[in-house]
Structure 1
Amino acid sequence: MEAQRQTKPLTGGRADHAQRILWIDIAKGIAMLLVFYGHLGGAGDNPWFPNLTGSIWVVYLFHMPLFFMLSGLTFHPNKDFRTFFISRFKRLVIPYFFFSIYALGKILLLIVAPSVVQGFHAGAMGTPLSEIGVILLGNTNGLWFFLTLFWGELFLYGVNKLTKQSIHRHLTLALIALIASVAWFAMSFLGTYKYIPFQLLHATEAVAFVGLGWLLSHKIKMFGKQATLYMLAGSTALFIIFGVVCRYTETHDVGWWIILASLPYLCAAVFGSLMTIAIAQLLPSWHWLTYIGRNTMIFYGLNGLSMAIARKVVFMVIPVSLVAAHIVLQIIIGLLVIAVACLICTVATPILNRWCWWGIGTSRPHAKLLSAKHVAPDAADSSH
C-alpha cells in the first residue's frame, strides 16, 4: 500500500521515467496553496486581511525555495543540449509570455478605465508603454518564477556537463548552491536583482535551491517512513528557530554584514522546504491535492487572475470592513477566497490543456495519447 501511494505507474518504459512520484505532486500541491495564501494580502494598501500578514510573512520565508527544491528533485540534465534547451524553453519561457496576457489585460484596462485600476488596491502601475516594456524584459509581477527557473536550470545543466566525471562533483554542486543562495538573499535584501532584465540575477535563487534539491534527490527519495518522521521533526524545530531569528534580524543598512544576515533566511528556507517535503511524504494521496500538484504550471500562471476574481466575488457578498475587523473571519474568508481561486483554476485547466497546450508548455492532446502507448523518455521531467 505504501509503495502504491509513493509512485503511480505510467505505461511501459524504464522504471525511473515510467513512474510518477505521488508525494512530489502532493508537495507541489501544498506549495501552490502556499502561493495562493501568500497572495491573500494582495498589494498596495492591503485592506482585506490585516491580521494575516504575520503568517503570510512566515510563508514567504520558504514557499518559493520549496518550489525550486521540488524542481531539483525531478531535474534531469542528462540529455543533449539542444533537446534540453528546447524542452525547457517550451516549458518555461513560452508560458511566461502566454500568462502575461493577463498583464496585457490590465494595461488595456489602464488605458480605457484608469479609475477602475486605482480601485484595485494593487501595486502601482506605470504608463501602458512602460508596462509593456516590463513584460518584454521579463519582469511581469508573479510570473518571474518561469524565467528564473529557466536560467537556473540552464546553469545547472552546464555544471552537470563540466563536473560529470569529477570525483568532487557533489562538493562542487554544494559550494555553488551555497554561494548562489547567499548571493540571492543579499541581492533580494538590497533589491539589486531588479536592475538586470529577464530575471538573470534572480536565477541565483533557482541555482541555489534547484541545485540543493538535485543534490538531495536520491537520498530523499529513498527515505522510509521512520527517516521521514525524523526529517519532519528536525526540520520543523530548526525552521521555527531560524524563523524567530529572521523575525528579529534587521537586514537594512548593514553593508557587507548583509551576507551574515542572509544566513538565517537561507536556513529557514531550507528547513521550511524540507519540513513541507516530509509532510507531503506522510500525507494520504488526496486527489484534489495531487491534481493541483500535477497542474502547477496552470495554477501558478493563473494565480494572480484567479485570486483577483475570487476576492471580487467573495467581497461582493461579504463586506470588507466586516472581515477586516475579526481575525477569525479573516481566516475563514481567506480560505474561502483560496478555494474559489483554486476552483477557477480547476475549471480552466482542462480548457487550457485542450486548446492552449502550445502556450502552457505541454504536448498537443492527440500526441499525448499516442505517446502513452510508447516509452516516454521525458515523462518525469515534463510532468513535474
Structure 2
Amino acid sequence: MKSQTQTESLTYEQTHQSCRILWIDIAKGIAMLLVFYGHLGGAGDNPWFPDLTGSIWVVYLFHMPLFFMLSGLTFNPNKDFRTFFVSRFKRLVIPYFFFSIYALGKILLLIIAPSVVTGFHAGAMGTPLSEIGNILLGNTNGLWFFLALFWGELALYGVHKLARHSTHRHLLLAGISSLSGMIWFVVSFLGIYKFVPFQLLHATEAIAFVGLGWLLSHRIKTLSAQETMYLLVGSTAAFIVFGIISRHTETHDVGWWVFLAALPYFCAAVFGSMMTIAIAQLLPSWRWLTYIGRNTMTFYGLNGLSMAIARKLVFILVPVPLVAAHIAFQIIIGILVITVACLICTAATPILNRWCWWGIGTSNLRAIRLSAQRAASSNGK
C-alpha cells in the first residue's frame, strides 16, 4: 500500500503533467539545444569555433521560428481578455525583466572592470546608462523572444476575437501569418526593428509563426506515423532547397527586391520548423530531452550566462588555438560546452522553481503541493 506522501506526490505530478503533449516537450528540447548551438560562437569576434559558422547559420534559419510555431500548437485564445493578458504578462513580461538581472551584472562588470568585458569577445556594449535603458525598453540581447511572443500572442488574440464568426477565418489567419513573416524578414534585413522599443516590430515574427502553428495545430497533432514520416522527408527536402537559395540570395538592397529576397528565408523557416516537429514525433521520449523541453523558460533565460560560464570553464582546460585549428576538435568541444551549459541550467532549474517561481512565469509548486496535501487529508477523513 502506498504511503500518503507517495500518493500526494503522484496526484500532484499527474495533475501537473496531464495536459502536456510529450512530443511537443521533445520538440522544445530540440529547439533549446539549437539555441545553445547557435550561441556557441558568442558575439563579436569568434575565436572558438570558426569552422562551425556555416552550420550555425543554418540553425539560425529556423530555430526561433520553431519556438514560435511550437507556442502556436498550444495557443489558446478562448479566454476573456483580462485572464489572457494577465497570464501572458506573468509568463512572458515578468521573466524578461527577471532574467535581465544577468544583463545588469554585465553592466556592473563594465563599470568595475571594463577590460574584463572586452576580454570575453562579447558584442559591443554602450555606456552603463544606455545599457540600462536597453533593458527598460525591452532591448536586452538574447531575451527579446519573451516580449516578441507577448505582443504576437496579443495580436493573434485580437484576430481571433474579430474573425471567430467568419467563415474565412482560417484563410484570413494564413494570410496574416504569411504577410507578417515576409514583413519580419524585410525589417530584419533592414535592421530597423532595433529602433522600435519593446520588440514591437519583432512581434511580426511571433505573429507569423505562432499563427502558422495555431492554424496547423489540429492537423499536426493528429498525424499518423506514416504521415509524420512523409512530413519529415518532404519538409527536409524543401528546407534544403530553400536553405541553398537563401545562402545565395542578396539582402543588402533596400529596394523592392528585399521583399522577394525574404521569401526563401520565410520558406526555409517554415520547412525547418516542420522538419524538427516531425523528428520530435518520431524520437523516443528521452527523459533528459523532455526535461529541457518542460523547462525551456529557465534554460532560455539562462542560456547566455550558462554558455559564458561553460566556455570559460572548458577553455581553461583546453587551449583555444588547439580547438580552432581542427574542425573535429571544434565539434567535440562544442558539444562539451553545450553539455556543461545544460548541466548548469539543470542545476538552476529546481532552485528557480522553488524560490523564484514568480520570476520565471510558473506556478508556486510548494503552494500547489500543500493544497494537494490538504485535499488528500480532507478526502481521507
The two structures have a TM-score, normalised by structure 2, of 0.93
- Per-residue displacement from partner, 1:231-274 (whole Å, max 9, x unpaired)? 00000000000000001111112511111100000000000000
Give the distance between the partners of 2:83 and 2:161, measured in 1 at CA.
14
Q: Give the C-alpha shift of residue 339 in structure 1.
A: 0.1
Match of 1:309 in 2: 309
Does the CA contact (< 8 Å) of 1:174 and 1:211 recur in 2?
yes
Does the CA contact (< 8 Å) of 1:235 and 1:272 recur in 2?
yes
Q: Give the C-alpha shift of residue 44 in structure 1.
A: 0.8
Match of 1:172 in 2: 172
Does the CA contact (< 8 Å) of 2:354 and 2:366 recur in 1?
no
Stretches (4+) displaced over 3 A:
9-13, 370-374
Match of 1:379 in 2: none
Alpha-carbon spacing, 1:106–1:26, altered in 2? closer, same or farther (3 Å): same
Does the CA contact (< 8 Å) of 2:98 and 2:359 recur in 1?
yes
SS of match in other structure, 1:255: coil
SS of match in other structure, 2:20: strand
Match of 2:153 in 1: 153
SS of match in other structure, 2:87: helix
SS of match in other structure, 1:358: helix
Match of 2:93 in 1: 93
Give the distance between the partners of 1:372 and 1:29, measured in 2 at CA.
29
Match of 1:275 in 2: 275
- Per-residue displacement from partner, 1:89-113 (whole Å, max 9, x unpaired)? 0000000000000000000000011
Letter in 2 for 1:296: T
- The answer to whether the aligner puts 1:346 opposite 2:346 as a matched pair is yes
Give the distance between the partners of 2:77 and 2:369, measured in 1 at CA.
25
Match of 2:124 in 1: 124
Q: Give the C-alpha shift of residue 364 in structure 1.
A: 1.3
Letter in 1 for 2:257: W
Match of 1:104 in 2: 104
Does the CA contact (< 8 Å) of 1:28 and 1:292 recur in 2?
yes
- Per-residue displacement from partner, 1:308-332 (whole Å, max 9, x unpaired)? 0000000000000000000000000
- Per-residue displacement from partner, 1:158-206 (whole Å, max 9, x unpaired)? 1111111111110010010011000000000000111110000100000
- Per-residue displacement from partner, 1:3-33 (whole Å, max 9, x unpaired)? xxxxxx96479xxx94311000000000000
Alpha-carbon spacing, 1:22–1:324, altered in 2? closer, same or farther (3 Å): same
Match of 2:20 in 1: 20
Match of 1:193 in 2: 193
Give the distance between the partners of 2:103 and 2:238, measured in 1 at CA.
39
Does the CA contact (< 8 Å) of 1:32 and 1:296 recur in 2?
yes
Letter in 1 for 2:325: A
Listed as ranges, the matches of 1:231-250 within 5 Å are 231-250=231-250
Match of 1:65 in 2: 65
Give the distance between the partners of 2:181 and 2:373, measured in 1 at CA.
42
SS of match in other structure, 1:363: coil
Choose 112-121 or 289-298, whichever is displaced more: 112-121
Does the CA contact (< 8 Å) of 2:69 and 2:209 recur in 1?
yes
Match of 2:369 in 1: 369
- Per-residue displacement from partner, 1:319-355 (whole Å, max 9, x unpaired)? 0000000000000000000000000000000000000
Match of 1:228 in 2: 228
Does the CA contact (< 8 Å) of 1:49 and 1:323 recur in 2?
yes
SS of match in other structure, 1:75: coil
Q: Give the C-alpha shift of residue 303 in structure 1.
A: 0.1
Match of 1:140 in 2: 140
SS of match in other structure, 1:279: helix
Give the distance between the partners of 1:232 and 1:285, measured in 2 at CA.
18
Q: Which runs of 5+ in 2 are unaligned?
A: 1-11, 375-381
Give the distance between the partners of 2:368 and 2:322, measured in 1 at CA.
49
Letter in 2 for 1:43: A
SS of match in other structure, 1:121: coil
Listed as ranges, the matches of 1:71-82 within 5 Å are 71-82=71-82
Give the distance between the partners of 2:287 and 2:156, measured in 1 at CA.
33
SS of match in other structure, 1:54: helix
Q: Alignment RMSD, CA only?
A: 1.7
Alpha-carbon spacing, 1:372–1:189, altered in 2? closer, same or farther (3 Å): farther
Give the distance between the partners of 2:233 and 2:258, measured in 1 at CA.
30
Match of 1:5 in 2: none
Q: Give the C-alpha shift of residue 367 in structure 1.
A: 2.8
Give the distance between the partners of 2:56 and 2:122, measured in 1 at CA.
17
Q: Give the C-alpha shift of residue 118 in structure 1.
A: 1.0
Give the distance between the partners of 2:337 and 2:80, measured in 1 at CA.
44
Letter in 1 for 2:295: N
Match of 1:326 in 2: 326
Letter in 2 for 1:263: L
Q: Give the C-alpha shift of residue 368 in structure 1.
A: 2.8
Residues matched between the structures, number:
364
